[in-house]
Chains A and B, each alone.
Chain A
Amino acid sequence: MFSSGSKYLLGITGLSLAAAVIYAFTVNPSDIGAIALLGLMVAGGFLAGINLHNGSGDAATAEEAVAAASPAPRDSAWPAVLALGTALVLVGLATVPVVFILGLAVMTGGAVEWLTLNWADRASNDRRYNNDMVRTRSVGPLEYPAASAVALGAVAYLFSRVMLNVSKSAGAALFIVIASVVVTVAFLAAYRPSFRGRPLVAVLALGALVLVGAGVYTGIDGERAQLAKYSKEDPYSITHRECGPEESEHYDHHAGNAVNLRANVLATVFVKDGKAYAELIGIKKPVNSITIARSNDVNILFRNLDEKEHRMVIHLGEKAVAETGVVEKLENCTQLAGKNQEQLLTVNIKKPTIAMKDGYKIEVPGAEGEIEVIVP
C-alpha cells in the first residue's frame, strides 16, 4: 500500500506537524515560522494523498520486482542521519539560524552518503567491488577532507573552551603539559613499532574522550570570571573605567605602547612635581588648553613623571539619565600609571564646548593644574 514516495511524504507531513506544534508552544503560534511549518505540513499531506490515491500499489509492486532482482543493500545509518538533518532544518527554521545551517549540512551529507551507498550497492553482485571501487572512489575524495575539517574544528573548539575557562597561569601550564604529551606519543609512534597498533588507538581514544569531556564541561561552565566580566562591558564606555580608587586587577599596563594609538596622539598630558600640563606637537611651550576636533576619535597620552601613581581624568560635563532624570557627571579616565608609565585615553566629543555650562577639562587628581579642553 505504501510506496517509498508516500512514506517519505507522510514523514515530512508528520515532522512538519510536530515542528509546528513545538514552535507554536515555544515561540509564537501566529508567527510566520508556524505558518511556514503548517504550510509545509499541508503541502506534504496533499502530495502524500495524491501518491496514495494514484497507483501507489503498482509502484510498490514495481519496486519490489526491481528489489528482488538486485542484491539487497547494506544496512546503513545514513537514513537516520538524513532524518536528523531534516529535523534540525525544521527546528532551525523555527528557532535560530545556526541550527538550520547545521541541519542543512547534516541533511546534505546524509543524503549524499545514502544515495551513493545505494547506487554503489546496486552496481554489481560483488559487494567488495561495490564498496572499494565504486563507493569509496566516488565519495572518498570528499569524505576524508570533510571529516578532517570537522575533526580539526571540533578539536580547536573544544580546546578553546578549556583554555578560556582555566586561569591564565593554569592555561600556560596546561598548554605545556598537552604539548609534551603530544610530542611523547608522536615519539613513541615513530620509534616504537609495537606502539603503533592498539596502544596508539587506545591513547588517541582516551585523548579524544578527555578532550570531549573537558570541552563540554568547560563549555557549560563558561569563560573565566575575568573574561566574562569584560565581555559584557563595552570597552569604550565611560563606565568601563573607575575614576575613583583602582578596582581593576586586570588591565593593559602598557596601553600607551600600542602603535596604532601612538600614531594618533593629539596631546600629551604630563604630571611632574605635582603639577599637570599638556604639550602639543609643534607648540614648544607647555599649554593649559587643547583643541579637539568635534566628532572624531582622538587619543590623549598621559605620562606620569611623578613618584606617586596618578591617573588622568577628562570631565565631559553632565547628562540627565533619560529614565530617572538623575543628572550624572560624564567623565572618563585612564588607569593608574606609576612613575614613568604611560596610559592612553581615547575620546570622541560630539558637542562643542559652548554646549556645556562649564566646558570640558582634563585634570590629574592629586596634582595641581587643569587643562581646558576646547571643542570648536
Chain B
Amino acid sequence: MTNPTDNTSGKKQDMKSTPRNPRRALAGLVAGSGLLLTGCATNAPQDIFQPKGPNAHDINQLQKLVFPIAGIVGVIVLALATYIFLRFRDRGQAIPSQAHGRPIVEITLTVVPALILSVVGVFTFRTIFDLAETQDTEMVINVTGQQWWWEYDYPVQEDFGINQPIITSGQLVMPVGTKVLLRETSRDVIHSYWIPALNGKKDAVPGRINLLRLEADKPGIYAGQCTEFCGLSHANMRMEAVALSREDFAKWVANQQKPYAAPAAGTLAAEGEQVFLNQCVRCHQVNGQKRADGTAVIAAPDENVYSGAAPNLSHLMTRNTFAGAMFDLLRPACRNDVWSAKPEEFGAKYLAGVSEDCLNATDLRAWLRNAPAVKPMYADPTKLGPTDGKYRGMPALGLSETDIDKLVAYLLTLK
C-alpha cells in the first residue's frame, strides 16, 4: 500500500499522471493548430466556402445548415463515447446487470435521427434539384476530358455571336451572369470537372453526356481541379474558368473567330511555322493553317494519340495556360496582374493575351524541349504497346534549341 505521507511514492504517482512524452504532445498541438490555421488562408482559389456564383451559393447555403447539425451530432456522439470509455473502463469491477429491450430508448434513438435526416434530406433534395435545373439554360459549351487536359467547344449560338464553332482548351471562357450548361464527356477514362467557386463536381464519363451548370457573379478567373483519379498526371489536370462581362465575352468570341493569319515571310515566326508543320501538326490543329500549295493542314491525332485528340492551338496566346492548365503562359508578375485585377479591369487585362514581354518562356521552352520530363505522361516510345503505339500526352520531340526559338516565335503569333 502507498503511504500518503511518502513523498517518494507521491512523486511516482504525479509522474504517472503527466504525459509520457511532452515533446510528442507539443508536436501534436502544433500540427493540430497548423491544420486549423489552414482555414484562415486568404489565397485559396479552390476554397469551397467562397462561392462566386449562384450554384456554388446554393451548395454553401446547404453546408451552412448541414455542417452545424452534423457537428452537433458528432460532438454529442464523441462526448458520450468518451464518457462511456472513461466511466465504464475495466478496473476489475463486476460486470453490471445487462438490460435488453428499452422501448422508450430504442424509439427515441430511431425517431430523433430520422427527424434530423428528414430535415437535412428536405434541404439536400431541394438543392440537388435546383442544381440539376437546365430548362433556363442560356448558353451551351461541350466539355471533353482526356488524359490530362480539357477541351471546350462552343456550338454555334448566334445569340452570343458564335457563328462558327470555337474550340479551345485549358481555360473555359464564359460570360458573367449567364447560365452556362456544360455537356461533359470523356474520350478515355473517367474524369471529374470541378470549379469549386462556381459549382460542385460532375464526372466526365466515356459514353455518357453529363450536365453541369456554371454561372459566375463577377468577372475573374476561377481555378479547378480534376477530382476523379485518371492516371499518371491526374494531379496536374487543372482547369480554369474565366468569366468575362458580356461585352468582353463578345470581344473574345470575335477574336476566336478571326481567320488565321500566317506570319510574315522571312521572320523567325515564319520559320517557326515550318517547324510546326513538320513536327506539331501530326497532333495539333491550328484552324485555317495552310501548306505552301494552299491546301488546309489537317492534324491526325487519332493516328498518334491514345485519346484521338490533342489541344487545338488556334489562338493559343489568348489563353493564360498550357499543358492542361498545369503551366502558365504568363510570367508570375503578369499572371498576378491578371488574377488580382479588379472585376471592372479584369476583362481588358485578360483579353490582352500573352505578349512577348509577359511570356513565361522558361516553362514553354522546357515543355517543347522534353514534355514528359516536366509533366508525367505515358509517352515513352518503348512502352506504347498497350496503347497500340499511341501516345498518352506529348512525347519528347527532340527539337534543337534553334527550332525551339523558332517555334516559340511562331506560337506567340497565335492570338
Contacts and interface: CB of A to CB of B under 8 A. Distances in A.
Contacts of B157: 283
Interface centre among B155, B165, B183, B211 (most CB of A within 10 A): B155
Contact of B183 (A281, A350, A352, A374): A281
Interface residues of A, number: 26
A260 B206 CA distance: 11
Contact of B296 (A263, A289, A294, A355): A355
A354 B295 CA distance: 10
A70 interface: no
B165 A296 contact: no
B413 interface: no
Contacts of A22: none
A351 interface: yes
Given A280-B140, A283-B140, A295-B302, A264 B208 contact: yes
Given A281-B209, A282-B137, A295-B308, 7 more contacts: A264-B209, A287-B155, A289-B156, A291-B165, A296-B144, A354-B296, A374-B156
Contacts of A294: 301-302, 308-309
A124 to B, nearest CB: 59
A265 B209 contact: yes
A293 interface: yes
A90 interface: no
Q: Which 4 A-B pairs have the closest CB atoms?
A: A295-B308, A376-B167, A282-B137, A282-B181
Interface in A258-312: 260, 263-266, 280-283, 287, 289-291, 293-298
Nearest to A354: B296
9 contacts: A263-B208, A281-B140, A282-B134, A282-B140, A291-B153, A293-B142, A295-B302, A296-B187, A352-B299
Interface string B281-296: 0000101000000001
Contacts of B151: 293
Contact of B309 (A264, A295, A297, A374): A295
B285 A352 contact: yes
Contacts of B154: 291
Given A264-B185, A376-B167, A291 B208 contact: no
Interface in A308-362: 350-352, 354-355
B53 to A, nearest CB: 17
A342 B313 CA distance: 38
A281 B309 contact: no
A291 B181 contact: no
A266 B143 CA distance: 12
B233 interface: no
Interface in A359-376: 374, 376
B404 to A, nearest CB: 27
B207 A350 contact: no
Contacts of A351: 298, 300
Contact of A376 (B153, B187, B206): B153
Nearest to A353: B165
A289 B163 CA distance: 10
Contacts of A350: 300, 302, 308
A266 B183 CA distance: 9
A291 B155 CA distance: 6
Contact of A291 (B139, B156, B300): B156
Given A293-B142, A355-B296, A283 B155 contact: yes
